[in-house]
Structure 1
Amino acid sequence: MSTANVLSAAVREELLGEATWGLRHHLARGAVDPSLLLSSADIEARLDASLLKWPYFTLLKSGESPPASSYTTVRDVIGHKVGGFPDPVAIRRLMAGGASLKLNQVADWHRPTRELARSLGEQTDCAANSYIFWTPGAQQGMLPHRDAAHVLAIQIEGRKEWHLHAAPGQIGAQAGLDVDSSSPTHVFTMEPGDVLYLPHGWPHDAVALDGGSMHLTFTLTGPTPENLVDAVLRRFLDKEEDLVHHFHTRALDARTSEVRAALVRTVAELDGPSWTRTALDSMRTEIG
């Protein structure tokens, strides 16, 4: 079975359908088979074999990151000293001291996760990025925060207690740590196979329970106003070659007038769907 189908159509509708998307959080219990995803044993094998380089892996403890030099090492690569390779002994020592291992842009180096990310991105008209958080028991990798994206979290191993802070005034468009976590609006525990959806900008934090926790997170980011403006600019630069490459032959007033007219023309030629698609294609290219 393709990893893109780990989430069934029914579960996708339950989590990401019109009744939920952008409106409220939703927790689907036992919705996936976690054995189809990366395991802690898979990750340890990659670290031991030096198959990842910093910053594809980082460490966090209560929002603080130790220096990369404290858990990376230098290797000889074709006669050159190259840094940023994992030091498995140091990583395990720091995790034993309470640090969480965060794996970044998992879709770049794990094909099944890439399949699932692409599928989620296409379904939601978003750019999908992927992360894994492996946290020791009774520890917290990140402080209460909000993401500038929708969030889909899949619990793979262990248990994690989540706190949502969705009171009026707490939800926002921008990422940030300015969250009042004194009175959570929702508290629940995720177990292996559970899947959580959070709308864009919902503040949250999570604490690993028992022997530790590992979950896979997808951030699903729709085009922002800046992304849409960038899409117009890219289309303008592609179509207006004479103006772009020979602007110096125009007097300043004429140059300004021509650019204004060309921008208006470019916007008029972009209908809604093609404009959105242009912005999304660029966002997805940046993610990889």
Structure 2
Amino acid sequence: METLRSLVGDPAPFLATAWGRQACLLRPPAPLAPPVTLADVDAVLASGLLRIPYLELVSQGKALEQGDYTSAHHLIDRSFRGYADTAKVMGHLDSGATLLMRNIEHWHSGAAALVGRLGAELSRGVEAFLFVTPPGRKGFDSHRDDADVFVLQLHGSKRWQVHAVPEDGRWQSGPEPEPGPVQLETTVHAGEVLYVPRGAPHSAVGHTDGLSFHLSLTVRQPGTADLRTALTRRFDEGLELPPLPVDPVELRRTAAALLDHYRERLAGLTPEALCAAAETVSASKAGTASTGPHRTLANLAAALGG
């Protein structure tokens, strides 16, 4: 639990009192080494290879039109749309828009390593999202996320309002115009971590002291859809039936075989086993991030004597 410890301090009291229950501001025992920097963001924007849906610009709760901050690349007599246009992106940031960069673990090795370690410790799928917000500006209105979120403030500060977690499972992720009473209102400064439980409505405004830059680590939890997927996969295991029965007799025989197969697959299946299978489904949605050493072209050249 060393990665979790670097975020929350002693994991035991955090998991016992806060996890899944209430938002809290955390001050790690040692200063966090930023896993990603503004220079990294500048570099990937300048590369010209960042493309929709890896980035989005939002302002005061509304998403900007993609064509307002992207351009087309022309290659081999073809046109490919949706690439980040650095000049346009920076122009919208100057005007107060928030830059969101999704799943940076797909292209940033430091974020990939962090996501991989935390996911292994929690046995959950973890993803990494970057937010760059100008002073005094808000990107998203109050909304719910279908994930527990660790907000790592890397530069500047941001003012947050977090509301209570849902009372039961009858809620949806997305905008929440009626979030209820505020449970926690706080300013998160560089080096601090905010924990937001799954489903708790929240919103944030960049502090007036400068640009806010934070990394959100989202920890996915299984839900009803994952239970259904896990059950369907169990039903399909070892199922061999004729795809097109030729007459009513064969159709009835196929129906009987299908029911027998389902009864056999259900026999002995416990809620605990189905939940465990659903956790695997949920984790797979976030993909995987390798935490081991990566081969490089320089390594290959050296090995070949080049």
1:32–1:195 contact (8 Å) kept in structure 2: no
Aligned to 1:161: 159
Q: How far, CA to CA, are the matches of 1:81 and 1:151 in structure 2?
A: 38
2:176–2:201 contact (8 Å) kept in structure 1: no
The code of the aligned residue for 1:41 comes to A
Q: RMSD between aligned alpha carbons?
A: 2.9
Q: 1:220-243 CA deviation, whole Å, 9 max, x = no partner? A: 221112212211212322321x13
Comparing 160-169 with 18-27, greater Cα deviation is found at 160-169
TM-score with structure 2 length normalisation? 0.81
Question: Number of paired residues?
Answer: 283
Q: Structure 2: any 5+ residue segments left out of the alignment?
A: 288-306
Q: 2:245 aligns with which of 243, 248, 258?
A: 248
Residue 131 of structure 1, CA deviation: 0.8
1:233 equivalent to 2:229? Answer: no
Aligned to 1:52: 50
Residue 88 of structure 1, CA deviation: 0.6
Which has the greater radius of gyration? 2
Q: Please give the residue correspondences for 1:1-288 in structure 2 after superposition, counting only pairs within 5 Å.
A: 5=3, 7-8=5-6, 11=9, 13=11, 17-31=15-29, 33-166=31-164, 173-180=171-178, 183-209=181-207, 210-240=209-239, 242-243=240-241, 245-246=242-243, 248=245, 251-268=250-267, 275-288=274-287
Q: Residues 229 and 264 of structure 1: is their aligned pair in 2 closer, same or farther, counting only changes over 3 Å?
A: farther
Residue 169 of structure 1, CA deviation: 6.2
Q: How far, CA to CA, are the matches of 1:30 and 1:115 in structure 2?
A: 19
Q: Residues 100 and 14 of structure 1: is their aligned pair in 2 closer, same or farther, counting only changes over 3 Å?
A: farther
Q: Structure 1: any 5+ residue segments left out of the alignment?
A: none
2:149–2:219 contact (8 Å) kept in structure 1: yes
Residue 58 of structure 1, CA deviation: 0.7
Q: How far, CA to CA, are the matches of 1:138 and 1:10 in structure 2?
A: 27
Comparing 87-96 with 275-284, greater Cα deviation is found at 275-284
What SS is found at the alignment partner of 2:127? strand
1:107–1:129 contact (8 Å) kept in structure 2: yes
Comparing 276-285 with 152-161, greater Cα deviation is found at 276-285
What SS is found at the alignment partner of 2:73? strand
% identity of equivalent residues: 27
Q: How far, CA to CA, are the matches of 1:81 and 1:278 in structure 2?
A: 43
Residue 78 of structure 1, CA deviation: 4.0
Q: How far, CA to CA, are the matches of 1:32 and 1:266 in structure 2?
A: 50
Q: How far, CA to CA, are the matches of 2:211 and 2:259 in structure 1?
A: 57
Q: How far, CA to CA, are the matches of 1:30 and 1:212 in structure 2?
A: 22
The code of the aligned residue for 1:239 comes to G
